[in-house]
Structure 1
Amino acid sequence: MAPPTLNKKVECIQGVRLSNSPSALSDIQVHYPLNSPHGVIGSITPHHCPTGVAVESDALPLALPALTHPHIHLDKAFVNSAQQYAHLLPQQGGFQEALSKTAEAKQQFTRADVIQRGEWLLAESVAAGVTAMRAFVEVDHTVRHVCLEAAVRLQDHWKDACEVQIVCFAQDPIYSTDHGPQNRSWMEQALKQYPQVGVIGSTPYVEATIAAAKQNIDWAVGSALEMGKHLDFHLDYNLESGKEALVWYVLDTLRERGWTSATGKRVMLGHCTRLTLFTDEEWSRMAQMIHKHDLPVSFVGLPTSDLYMAASSPEKCPHNRSRGTLQVPEMIRKHGLDAVIGVNNVGNAFTPWGSLDPLALACLGVGIYQAGTQDDARLLYECVSTRARAAIGLASSRQGVELQERMQADLLVFHQLDLTGCGTIRPRRTVAEIVWDPPAPVSRDLVIRGHLKRSELLGERGASLYACEE
């Protein structure tokens, strides 16, 4: 398998609709700073149609920012699709089974196997319009550096098509169980040996005790600060009101260590389903703490995994099984928190359902969050695009869905395409229509840092949109 060929440098995209003016047409000029192969949006100007040429605006494409995976597991992707793991397919479902089945699968992981499944993930992600991702790979006494070595290879091989930000990730305990010290040692070796790692990740809730979980947090915060890395915690993944929420310890530790926006590095907190049991007062207190101390903290909701895993016991309440996932739009609008949504796992025991398309996730969010307005749709699109990119530290600010001058030229162009075979096209003119019912990935062209990846199915359709340097 090979990354897509990106041999055309786009100079102008002509006659496309934009999110803030779907009834008008615009031209997007792409500029390339001196000595840089990467394009930025230089200017956006009104498109002038030739005299006497009729234009049916409903049939014209819509240009939006490209998509981002803020949280995805590269090494565990599509375990359910690989024949060598057929005996490990879920039998009951549930978190403990997923942990045990995945631990067993990891004993068979090889570098070649992880690369193959990682390429499936990258190919489908890029086809959907993803140009950046935060990719978790596990490091412990079982896989050692096998997954990390595969991720480094993929990061380099796919660098022109997708920016892969590698997370050196401790899924297993590092301060408890017989293997805790070994796991921590493998993590520390990896961080010294692989400069390609941009993020330290850990899972405090897998530790045997609260005290060990806090040691885990202390180690991760200290290591990230010392090494100048971003930090990413899987945190508070439960729906138990009697369990201590470790988010408070994380925030206190960041404050005490002086981790502010001035460090230039961000902290992501994932899952956090326990926080759905917080009162309004607790949410306000947490938001005030983050704002007051300038803590560069983002939250990522992972709905496909959370709805599958974070549920009350079917034995205790078979007809009323509570589900929990962060209410992302509420967090942003009511509390001013930085929050996004991510795909997390695909095709494994933790999440055997769902696709790699971030737009499918945004669509799911409409129902989960009862977010049915056009403004809601725009916010959900941001949460899988520009907000997500900023949350993982790959952009300096959270731009909206409007394309702007000086933005990196990572663009997704949605074509109006008949996929029914009936000679009819239902137009999608707005961001809301894209989010409410995402068009198939084959109807999307992708511009990656100014370089064009055309959908194979589109053929020459719409080719006149692009003025390219051959």
Structure 2
Amino acid sequence: MPPPTLSKKLTSIQGVRLPGSPSTWKIDIHYPPNSPRGIIQSITPHDVSTPRDDSVPTPLVLPALTHPHIHLDKAFVHSARQYAHLLPSAGSFQEALSFTTEAKQQFTVPDVLQRGEWLLAESVSAGVTAMRAFVEVDHTVKLVCLEAATKLQEQWKDACEIQIVCFAQDPIFSTQHGEENMDFIQKALEEHPQIDVVGTTPYVESTIDAAKQNIDWAVDRALQLNKHLDFHLDYNLDSGKEALVWYVLRSLQQRGWTSSTTSKRVMLGHCTRHTLFTHEEWSQISRIIHENDLPVSFVGLPTSDIYMAASPEQKVPHDRPRGTLRVPEMIRKHDLDAVMGVNNVGNAFTPWGPPDPLFLACLGVGVYQAGTQDDARLLYECVSTRARAAIGLSSSDPSLSDIGLKQGGCSDFLLVYDRDLTGCGVTRPCGSVAEVVWNPPATVNREVVVGGRVKRSGFVCVQNDPNHPIYVYSEK
């Protein structure tokens, strides 16, 4: 499957709506020398004297979407025929681990390429133009997933910026395969400069000491190689287990990882154990991060977390709490950098939900009881501008991560149209960020601009004419 076709470079997008404004606007795009990707040169009121085709809906323009945490190699295992015998029967975390290990024994480069293309195609069509993609490296898959990921990274580079995480899902400091797993990780890091991020899973180690060794090694290696760092961390709801976030923060402090010493960032994912923290513990985490200038972000993964993260067996059968990071509260109450990610799609860890960040933002309305218009804007940021900043692709200053388009910003946009998809001649308007989050528009009502070029849609209801009245091209 080839990557999507992109248009010629745009010099402007005209007659479009912006969040919170009743007027129409023109967005001019500039291309720096030797750069294939454009930046926003100016945003000005649309010249009303310019004739406009009223038969073409006026789109709402928003920043493009981002996957800050998604597993490329395990995507859509349930959709591939060769894994039909590995569909969930118990739905437990241990079953997911077991079935995924068994599935990995069958992974091949063509298989991972095919499922990765499914993920990329659906993600880009939804509006995703950047993603942090985890690929596992260990004694089972060796470098198979990484080889496929680097091919996809190159093939899809014009449509989506793919950050590759060399990911140790399995132990590297314990169990009979720990040493072998470490050898493959080291080999991958040495031989593949396309790797952007070092990722590990400390909680899979057999002892707490091994987990801390895992953390220290990952911090040291990422600093040495000047790469981002990403931990799957504290994935439980057991108050009796030590939360490793304190050790991660201490390790970063001891090794001098600060915003002033490196541009690379640290991401902590899942962290469901943290939902048991008191207000004082959250305040302490925030204080440590800010006082030590640590470039740390948290990513909540609600579709996986509320499905998988269960507390230990309860005495009362009906008492089965679920947990996922309370992202809006972390941002507003504790001044922490937090975002939302899809994580897994179509496998035993998360058999439900599409790879559409807007679905995730919509889910957040209910999960976080976040139903105001301000909540909707924040949730959109958490799957777009904030998510992009958290993985190090734009400014990490939260004040610069709102959804207002700005001069000098990247020219990755999601355009949302009002089109009748019912066949009844009825069109419901969608004019605000809140409406987009509360009731995400169908993919056929979305158009994506990436780096200043339009992704052509295969849907007949979408305008594909190169003379599309809202677009002005640099080349005719």
TM range (shorter): over 0.9
Question: Equivalent residue for 1:100?
Answer: 98
Question: Equivalent residue for 1:195?
Answer: 193
1:12 and 1:204, CA in 2 relative to 1: closer, same or farther beyond 3 A? Answer: same
Question: Equivalent residue for 1:288?
Answer: 287
Question: Equivalent residue for 1:242?
Answer: 240
Question: Equivalent residue for 2:469?
Answer: 464
Amino acid of the structure 2 residue aligned with 1:423: G
Distance 2:318 2:58 in 1: 47
Q: Is the 8 A contact 1:444 1:455 kept in 2?
A: no
- When normalised by structure 2's length, the TM-score is 0.96
Match of 1:233 among 198, 222, 231: 231
Question: Equivalent residue for 1:14?
Answer: 14
Question: For each residue in 1:128-159, what CA deviation from the matched residue of structure 2 results, as whole angstroms up to 9, or x when unmatched?
Answer: 00000000000000100000000000000100
Shift of 1:53: 7.2
Amino acid of the structure 1 residue aligned with 2:463: E
Shift of 1:11: 1.1
Counterparts of 1:315-394 in structure 2, within 5 Å, are: 316-394=315-393
Shift of 1:36: 1.9
For the aligned residue pairs, the C-alpha RMSD in angstroms reads 1.6
- When normalised by structure 1's length, the TM-score is 0.97
Moved more, 45-54 or 103-112: 45-54
Shift of 1:320: 2.6
Q: Unpaired runs of 5+ in structure 1?
A: none
Question: Equivalent residue for 1:310?
Answer: 309
Q: Is the 8 A contact 1:443 1:455 kept in 2?
A: no
Q: Is the 8 A contact 2:229 2:266 kept in 1?
A: yes
Distance 1:440 1:83 in 2: 27
Moved more, 189-198 or 448-457: 448-457
Shift of 1:51: 8.0
Question: Equivalent residue for 1:443?
Answer: 445
Question: For each residue in 1:6-49, what CA deviation from the matched residue of structure 2 results, as whole angstroms up to 9, or x when unmatched?
Answer: 1321111111110131x111011111112222111111010122
Distance 2:319 2:366 in 1: 19
1:80 and 1:316, CA in 2 relative to 1: closer, same or farther beyond 3 A? Answer: farther
Q: Is the 8 A contact 1:168 1:197 kept in 2?
A: yes
Distance 1:373 1:315 in 2: 35
Question: Equivalent residue for 2:159?
Answer: 161
Question: Equivalent residue for 1:110?
Answer: 108
| 1:421 equivalent in alignment to 2:423 | yes
Q: Is the 8 A contact 2:72 2:135 kept in 1?
A: yes
Q: Is the 8 A contact 1:13 1:467 kept in 2?
A: yes
Distance 1:28 1:304 in 2: 35
Q: Is the 8 A contact 1:204 1:213 kept in 2?
A: yes
Match of 2:433 among 431, 434, 449: 431
Counterparts of 1:48-63 in structure 2, within 5 Å, are: 48-50=47-49, 59-63=57-61
Q: Is the 8 A contact 2:267 2:296 kept in 1?
A: yes
1:49 and 1:216, CA in 2 relative to 1: closer, same or farther beyond 3 A? Answer: same
Distance 2:457 2:273 in 1: 41
SS at match of 2:240: coil
Match of 1:251 among 246, 249, 263: 249
SS at match of 2:42: strand
Q: Is the 8 A contact 1:20 1:402 kept in 2?
A: no
Question: For each residue in 1:371-395, what CA deviation from the matched residue of structure 2 results, as whole angstroms up to 9, or x when unmatched?
Answer: 0010100000000001000000111
Shift of 1:461: 7.2
Q: Unpaired runs of 5+ in structure 2?
A: none
Q: Is the 8 A contact 2:456 2:464 kept in 1?
A: no
Q: Is the 8 A contact 1:174 1:183 kept in 2?
A: yes
Question: For each residue in 1:345-386, what CA deviation from the matched residue of structure 2 results, as whole angstroms up to 9, or x when unmatched?
Answer: 000000000000100000000000000010100000000001
Amino acid of the structure 2 residue aligned with 1:428: C
SS at match of 2:469: helix
1:141 and 1:460, CA in 2 relative to 1: closer, same or farther beyond 3 A? Answer: same
Moved more, 125-134 or 451-460: 451-460
Q: Is the 8 A contact 2:5 2:456 kept in 1?
A: no
Amino acid of the structure 2 residue aligned with 1:19: P
SS at match of 1:331: helix
Match of 2:118 among 113, 120, 124: 120
Question: Equivalent residue for 1:455?
Answer: 457
1:105 and 1:53, CA in 2 relative to 1: closer, same or farther beyond 3 A? Answer: closer
SS at match of 1:48: coil
Distance 1:342 1:53 in 2: 39
1:52 and 1:42, CA in 2 relative to 1: closer, same or farther beyond 3 A? Answer: closer
Question: Equivalent residue for 1:31?
Answer: 30
Counterparts of 1:176-191 in structure 2, within 5 Å, are: 176-191=174-189
1:76 and 1:123, CA in 2 relative to 1: closer, same or farther beyond 3 A? Answer: same
Distance 1:386 1:360 in 2: 16
Distance 2:3 2:222 in 1: 31
Question: For each residue in 1:96-131, what CA deviation from the matched residue of structure 2 results, as whole angstroms up to 9, or x when unmatched?
Answer: 000000000000000110000000000000000000
Question: For each residue in 1:149-202, what CA deviation from the matched residue of structure 2 results, as whole angstroms up to 9, or x when unmatched?
Answer: 000000001001000000000000001100001101110110000000000000
Question: Equivalent residue for 1:45?
Answer: 44
Moved more, 395-404 or 195-204: 395-404
